[in-house]
Amino acid sequence: MSLYNLPQKMSHTTNETKTTFKTLEQRYKLLRQQQVIFITALARCRENANDKIGPVRNLQQVRSYLDNHCYHSTDKRILSHFLDTCTELAKFCVQLEALQCETGSSRGLVEETITLLGPTNKLSALRAKYPHDVVNHLSCDEAKNFYGGVVSLLPIALDNIREALYRMERIPPPQCDILNRAGQRDRKPSTVNLCYCSDKQTTGVQSKVSLGFSSLQINDMDSYVDSSKPAWRPPGKSYNA
């Protein structure tokens, strides 16, 4: 791949990333609209599992409900939708981590979100804050003791990813800076050294080579100036040495 084709490829990847993220946001919006169905499904599964004392602890527990204690088709559909969205978000975070180009601008947020979406990560203490209102749609008992964490997971994860994308756009990675400088060299070859040298090698006074003379021309000039032959004088007159 050509060096000068890389910025277009990176731009295409960024647009593709934004499109994927919008798709994931739409998946979550659909789930949010069906939050009552989601909570009903969890409550029914917890009852079937004789597990109504504690809160929903992690995604592994939700998976266990779906695989072993879910008998209603609507419950299966909504729990599958929730778990699939969590899985897709985790995969997206892994891809996003690879696109960061070794910049620390958003790495902490992406890693935090990957951990957040882990199957055994504890969810019971999570609470999505304003402007999210998912917790407010629960009853007081449900919000405090059972489902406040599980309904807060996706809003918090999406907020983290949104902020990570914003930071990645504002702070370009080092590779992008190198490509930008390469483009400037291409546009102004007369004022910028085109060889890949260290800073110490590129600083200093302007030499004959930087002015456009070849080494052969420089040697010819030096030999002409240093010649022992007398300077040319017009004929017909005599001059004293």
Q: Is residue 109 a part of any domain in this protein?
A: yes
Range of the domain at 19: 3-171
Residues 6+ apart with CB under 8 A from 120: 58, 59, 60
Residue 45: how many other CB atoms lie within 10 Å: 24
Is residue 197 pLDDT above 70, yes or no?
no
Is residue 80 pLDDT above 60, yes or no?
yes
Q: Is residue 7 a part of any domain in this protein?
A: yes
Average pLDDT in the chain: 75
Q: ω into residue 155 within 30 of 0, thus cis?
A: no
Domain count, the chain: 1
- Least confident among 62-71, 81-90, 127-136, 224-233: 224-233
Question: 110, 122, 119: which is closest to 160 by C-alpha?
Answer: 110
Q: Is residue 68 a part of any domain in this protein?
A: yes
Q: Is residue 192 a part of any domain in this protein?
A: no
The sign of the dihedral angle between the CA atoms of 168, 172, 175, 176 is: positive
* pLDDT value for 227: 47
**Three-state secondary structure readout of 118-186:** CCCCCCCCCCCCCCCCCCCCCCHHHHHHCCHHHHHHHHHHHHHHHHHHHHHHHCCCHHHHHHHHHHHHH
* pLDDT value for 97: 85
User: What DSSP string runs through the chain?
Assistant: --GGGHHHHHHHHHHHHHHHHHHHHHHHHHHHHTHHHHHHHHHHHHHHTT--SSPP--HHHHHHHHHHS---HHHHHHHHHHHHHHHHHHHHHHHHHHTTTT-SSSHHHHHHHHHHTSTT---TT----TT--TTTTS-HHHHHHTSHHHHHHHHHHHHHHHHHHHHHHHS--HHHHHHHHHHHHHH-TTTS--S---HHHH-S---TTTTT--HHHHHHHHHHHT--SPPP--TT-----
More confident of the two residues 188 and 46 = 46
How does residue 5 score in pLDDT terms, banded at 50, 70 and 90?
Answer: very low
Q: What integer is the mean pLDDT of 116-127?
A: 95
Q: Is residue 104 a part of any domain in this protein?
A: yes
Q: Is residue 30 a part of any domain in this protein?
A: yes
Give the whole-angstrom CA distance, residue 62 versus residue 153.
13
* pLDDT value for 107: 64
Q: What integer is the mean pLDDT of 195-215?
A: 38
pLDDT in tens, 129-181: 999 999 999 999 999 999 999 999 999 999 999 999 888 887 655 544 444 44
Q: Is residue 227 a part of any domain in this protein?
A: no
224, amino acid identity: Y
Q: What integer is the mean pLDDT of 47-51?
A: 95
Residues recorded for the chain: 241
How does residue 62 score in pLDDT terms, banded at 50, 70 and 90?
Answer: very high
Q: Is residue 99 a part of any domain in this protein?
A: yes
Q: What integer is the mean pLDDT of 82-89?
A: 97
